[in-house]
Amino acid sequence: MKRKVLLLKFGELFLKGRNRHEFINLLKKNISKKLQEFDFRLSETQGRLIVSDFDEANESAMISKLQQVFGLIAIASATEFETSLENIEKMVLELDFDDVKSFKVETKRADKNFPMTSMELDKHLGAVVLEKFSHLRVDLYHPEKLVVVELRTNGNTYIYDRLIDCAGGLPLGSAGKGLLLLSGGIDSPVAAYLIAKRGLEIEAVHFHSYPYTSLQAKEKVLQLAKEISAYVGKIRLHIVSFTEIQEEIHRNCDAEYMITIMRRIMMRIAQRLAVANDCGAIVTGESLGQVASQTMQSLNVTNSVVSLPVFRPVLAFDKEEIMAVARKIGTYETSILPYEDCCTVFLPKNPVIKPTIKRAEFLEEKLDIELLVGRALNNEEIVEIDEF
Ligand code: ATP
Ligand code: MG
């Protein structure tokens, strides 16, 4: 008896001791949720997860979904059958060699009870294939077709010639939760993707300056949140009005420090939301030197108002590199739609490039920050987004 299965590979390096159990359980939970619209069975054999009992018509849709699950390295579309030399020989010969001239067999023998070693099997199966298909030759270095034969400890063998790349990383939830500052730009959705890939779940905050910024600007951010949610899981998005705060800053502070002080207040609000919602870090899409507010000195001045660690996954990325990730994950087209960010309202001509904490603190004395922050948070709107 043989059947079609998806053999899922995950990163084994991280799997030490108790971690291993947690990692695999999270991965299974995330896979089950991702594939909830399909009928299937998920099982585990040492070192692999196996998706079986699904309708083959859904295979490619299921693979596309699984490519959005962090923690998976690759998927093999494989045939599963009971381990025996006779079965293995038969199944190897059922593969399609029509369009290739060279091949290589690679055996992975996790089942050490099998009487032949991996090397012996490689050679033997190579010879079996050559005998039947006279147009082929073995190429150990650049084979046109790589045939993989995995003998697992569950008594089954898996054979495949197609391996599909997945996102890699660590399972969502394995690193806790972070609070993302999500704008309508290109960078912050990419930051979310990259940090979630290391296992961090995402809660998010977006600041708008309605009516200076449009309702479409807000819609755009909701759309971006949906798009990243396919990778980063459920997102609770806090939508906070920044209008009054901006007006107050505009009225009271030097123009060149406006953005610095805005960003310090955004960070204070982010810190409050993070603490209240069980987030252990703040995440932004800042990139060193990209604009005046992202110089080392500016980052230091905004950072100094929070105590949580601030993760900046794209800090060292060029814009081109950030855009490449945005295209890969599908947020780019949404991000480049025209919109006004609240940072672009009342934009000063010459924002300070090397602000100091002392000067920022001096200018902030004219603001009742506690009151402003409290009022903004009291009027927040919360939207739950789940496209995972
Ligand atoms: P992005 O492309 O993500 O908008 P950017 O290059 O426009 O980034 P800034 O506008 O200076 O850079 O913003 C830097 C970071 O600050 C953003 O990546 C985001 O994390 C945060 N941020 C900016 N504006 C907002 C906003 N309106 N709401 C929430 N976070 C914001
Ligand atoms: Mg922006």
Kindly report the CATH number assigned to the domain that includes residue 152. Answer: 3.30.2130.30
* In a shared domain, residues 149 and 188: no
Choosing from 179, 188, 331 the residue with most ligand 1 atoms within 8 A of its CB, the one to mutate for a pocket test is 188
- Cα(387) to centroid(ligand 1), Å: 23
Give tens-digit pLDDT for 154-203. 999 999 999 999 999 999 999 999 999 999 999 999 999 999 999 999 99
pLDDT value of position 35 = 98
From the CA of 195, how far away is ligand 1's center (Å)?
16
Closest C-alpha residue for ligand 1 atom 27 = 207
Domain range for 250: 177-385
Q: Are residues 92 and 191 in the same domain?
A: no
Is residue 320 domain-shared with residue 189, that is, in the same domain?
A: yes
At 213 the pLDDT is 87
The verdict on residue 379 lying in a domain is yes
The answer to the question of residue 184 being in a domain is yes
**Cα(322)–Cα(315) distance, rounded to whole angstroms?**
10
Q: Measure 275 CA to ligand 1 centroid, in angstroms.
A: 21
In contact, 362 and 254? CB cutoff 8 Å = no
Supply the pLDDT for residue 16: 67
Domain shared by 222 and 307, yes or no: yes
Per-residue pLDDT, 346: 76
Q: 208 has which bridge partners?
A: 241
pLDDT at 13: 62
CA distance between the termini of the chain: 34
Looking at the structure, tell me whether residues 122 and 29 fall in a common domain.
yes
Number of residues assigned to the chain: 388
Query: Do 161 and 201 fall within a single domain?
Result: no
* Residue that is last in its domain, among 165, 196, 229: 165
Residues with CB under 5 A from ligand 2 (ion): 183, 185, 341
Smallest CA separation from ligand 1 atom 31, residue:
183
Domain boundary among 101, 131, 165: 165
The reply to whether 364 falls in a domain is: yes
**Whose Cα sits closest to atom 21 in ligand 1?**
181
Are residues 354 and 256 located together in one domain of the fold? yes
Question: 314 and 288, same structural domain?
Answer: yes
3-state SS, one letter per residue, for 202-237:
EEEEEEECCCCCCHHHHHHHHHHHHHHHHHHCCEEE
What's the structural domain count of the chain?
2
pLDDT at res. 15 = 64
CA torsion through residues 371, 260, 350, 286, sign: negative
Examine residue 37 and state whether it is found in any structural domain, yes or no: yes
Say whether both 154 and 29 belong to one domain.
Answer: yes
Q: Residue 202 has what pLDDT? A: 98
Average pLDDT, the chain: 95
Per-residue tens of pLDDT for the chain, all 388 residues: 899 999 999 986 666 677 888 899 999 999 999 999 999 999 999 889 999 999 999 999 999 999 999 999 999 999 999 999 999 999 999 999 999 999 999 999 999 999 999 999 999 999 999 999 999 999 999 999 999 999 999 999 999 999 999 999 999 999 999 999 999 999 999 999 999 999 999 999 999 999 988 889 999 999 999 999 999 999 999 999 999 999 999 999 999 999 999 999 999 999 999 999 999 999 999 999 999 999 999 999 999 999 999 999 999 999 999 999 999 999 999 999 987 777 677 778 899 999 999 999 999 999 999 999 999 999 999 999 999 9
Amino acid 14: pLDDT = 62
Tell me, yes or no, whether 21 and 112 share the same domain.
Answer: yes
Answer yes or no: do 42 and 133 share one domain. yes
- Could you tell me which of 354, 345, 340 has the C-alpha nearest to residue 260? 354
Q: How many CA atoms lie within 13 A of 377 on its CB side?
A: 17
Ligand 1, CB cutoff 6 Å, lining residues: 181-183, 185-188, 205-207, 284-286, 290-291, 293, 341-343
Based on the domain organization, do 79 and 155 belong to the same domain? yes
Residue that is last in its domain, among 165, 196, 231: 165
> Does residue 253 fall inside a structural domain?
yes
Which segments within the chain are labelled E, that is strand? 2-10, 41-45, 48-52, 72-82, 102-109, 137-138, 145-151, 156-160, 163-165, 177-181, 201-208, 235-241, 281-283, 310-311, 381-385
Token readout for 211 is: 């009516």
